[in-house]
Amino acid sequence: MCGGVAVSLFLASFAVLTHAQTCNLERAQQCRDDLQRQVRQESRSFRGQEITTLCTSVRDNMACLMWHSANCQSRDQQEKSGDVILSGKSFLERSCDLDGGWRVSRCYSNDDVKRCEANFVAGGKASVIGDSCRSYVSFKRCIKDVVSRRCSRDDEQMVSSYLIDRARDLSWQCGGSISEARDVHSIYRSSSSHGGYAPYTQDSYCMVRANEYIQDCSKEHQKRQYNARRYYSDDRVRETCCATLAYRECIKVVLHDQCRDAGSSVIDNILYQQTKELDYECRDFNAYRCAGCMTVVTQVALVACVAVALARFFSFSS
């Protein structure tokens, strides 16, 4: 397989991965509307499989609204979403989790879950909201990892209810990656006459959404830079610079997906900030110069990176 083809497949995989978690206003509104409609129904009129199907749909719509609220909405929008989410939670308690739900499940009483909770309580005492969000995101990842490994599908469906009970507002207010999670309100432009978001710097809302995927780009870049050490002279320069080119393109794919609402000038500025420290000697390299065949090691590294990213997404997305 040649370098151009492999890099294209790698970037395409990132495009699919990032698009899967992109904010979608229409999708968020649909989840909200469906959830409101469902909780107004009288569950006693349903029997057997009907109530099972309804409960599953309520859980799915509640999880959908929680994710969009945490990652995509302003303070006012989050407050409104929080009311709808709590109404969905109340519906589940009175119509679906009559036996106690997650509270009577062995899954949520095992030692690994208790360790996640202990760490969250310690971190949740921080006075800064951003620190509380970071603590919550770590806690959520910890819980979802335990549940996905040790518990049943039914237990997994109760994760949203569990998170609401354990973290209340944080469950629909805190989004982003572990390293960048923060209170989304702190990066909103409250004084703007036009509304919208604050200027797109490294602490911006755009970067909160994009950071986790940029980290994956960076990890792959570091691997290729390390592998380049076994080459000599011009071959080492070529491999190093082609890794740098792929890294730049990888970040570009992420930014265009996560920040496309910000405009090309904002994306170009963030791209410059993320790549300005890259090797100066690589300035003349382009895709044509990197189109030669790659080593098997590099191909395997690319495939492995994509596989890890996809596996993590399907394990932790909410």
Which three-class secondary structure string do you get for 283-303?
CCCCCCCCCCECCHHHHHHHH
Task: Tell me how many domains the chain contains.
Answer: 1
- What pLDDT is attached to residue 199? 39
pLDDT at 17: 44
| Angstrom distance (rounded) from CA 189 to CA 297 | 46
Does a structural domain hold residue 236?
yes
Contact 250, 217 (CB under 8 A): yes
- For 223, the token pair is 């691997």
| Cut 0.85: pTM above it | no
* C-beta separation of 41 from 240 below 8 A: no
- C-alpha angle 204/256/68, rounded to 5°? 60
Is 93 within 8 Å of 43 (Cβ atoms)? no
**According to the model, what pLDDT value does residue 200 have?**
37
8 A C-beta contact, residue 60 and residue 27: no
pLDDT at 35: 94
The whole-number pLDDT of residue 130 equals 52
Q: Which residues pair with 113 in a beta bridge?
A: none
Q: Is residue 277 situated within a structural domain?
A: yes
Flag whether 269 is in a domain.
yes
Residue 183 bridge partners (DSSP): 174
Q: For residue 262, what are its two tokens?
A: 């910000």
In a domain, 299, yes or no: yes
In-domain check, residue 20:
no
- Helix, strand, coil shares of the chain, percent, nearest 5, are 75, 5, 25
Q: Residue 101 domain-assigned?
A: no
Strand, coil or helix: what is 213?
helix
The CA-atom distances, in angstroms, between 50 and each of 34, 42, 55 are: 16, 12, 9
Q: Which residue range is the domain that position 10 belongs to?
A: 3-15+201-316
d(CA 257, CA 259): 6
Instruction: Confirm whether 32 is domain-assigned.
Output: no
Q: Is residue 234 part of a domain?
A: yes
Distance (Å, whole) CA 74 – CA 32? 15
Task: Give the span between the Cα atoms of 213 and 138, in whole angstroms.
Answer: 17
Full pLDDT tens readout for the chain, 318 residues: 444 544 454 454 444 444 445 678 888 899 999 999 998 876 556 666 788 889 999 999 999 999 999 888 877 788 899 999 999 999 999 888 888 999 999 999 999 999 999 888 644 443 334 567 888 888 999 999 999 988 999 999 999 999 999 998 889 988 754 333 333 333 333 333 333 333 334 334 566 667 777 778 888 888 887 887 777 777 777 888 888 888 888 888 887 777 766 666 667 777 776 676 665 567 666 666 776 544 444 455 555 555 555 555 455 455
